[in-house]
Amino acid sequence: MATTPMTRKDELLQQMIGTYRDLNNRVRPLGEDRLRLKRGDHPSIRDVIVQMRDDELTFAQALKERLTGVPKPDVIMDQRPTLGLEQSNDPTAYIISQFGTARATTLSLIRELSEERWSEPIEGGGTVVDRIAELVANDRRQLERLNGLLGAP
């Protein structure tokens, strides 16, 4: 039985799912003390996870606005991305879950994209697929940072 080759969209979706899987497998089982430990000028593992969550929330919101044409209400004064559930002292496992919620939103939006929307130009240059590829590249950079902080598997 022949398999069909993966499309660019499928590849990006798989990489995005892989990022969340890596966080769950490599980071979630670790103790909170280790995750919050800072060494010199380096961020803690938790700091990197918070940045990843915030990047994902920002991306999901921007993609939703782009695809639906409905901007975030002006009533929301806080410019930080938010699920409305974050607390500054949340355990890292919660932050990974928040990342996963935002990532699920992004994946859902991407899966619904038609081929025309996938490759249409957007403001600021590039296409939707270009922006998604940038997000995947950011994931890769952040996972490399985490690998450095965690030690090679």
pLDDT, tens digit, for every residue of 31-67?
999 999 998 888 999 999 999 999 999 999 888 888 8
Q: How is the chain split into domains, by residue range?
A: 16-23+43-71+84-150
* C-alpha span between 92 and 28 (Å, rounded): 7
What's the Cα-to-Cα distance from 38 to each of 34, 41, 73, 142, 150, rounded to whole Å?
9, 8, 37, 16, 12
pLDDT at residue 3, rounded to an integer: 64
SS3 at position 40: coil
pTM: 0.84
pLDDT at residue 39, rounded to an integer: 85
pLDDT at residue 74, rounded to an integer: 55
Q: Which of 49, 58, 110 is nearest to 83 (CA)?
A: 58
pLDDT at residue 52, rounded to an integer: 96
φ, ψ of residue 92 in degrees (nearest 5): -60, -35
pLDDT at residue 32, rounded to an integer: 96
φ, ψ of residue 112 in degrees (nearest 5): -80, -10
SS3 at position 66: helix
pLDDT at residue 114, rounded to an integer: 86
The stretches in the chain having pLDDT less than 70 are 1-4, 72-87, 152-153
Q: Which of 30, 2, 7, 16 is nearest to 63 (CA)?
A: 16
Provide DSSP, 100-150: HHHHHHHHHHHHT--HHHHT-B-TTSSBHHHHHHHHHHHHHHHHHHHHHHH
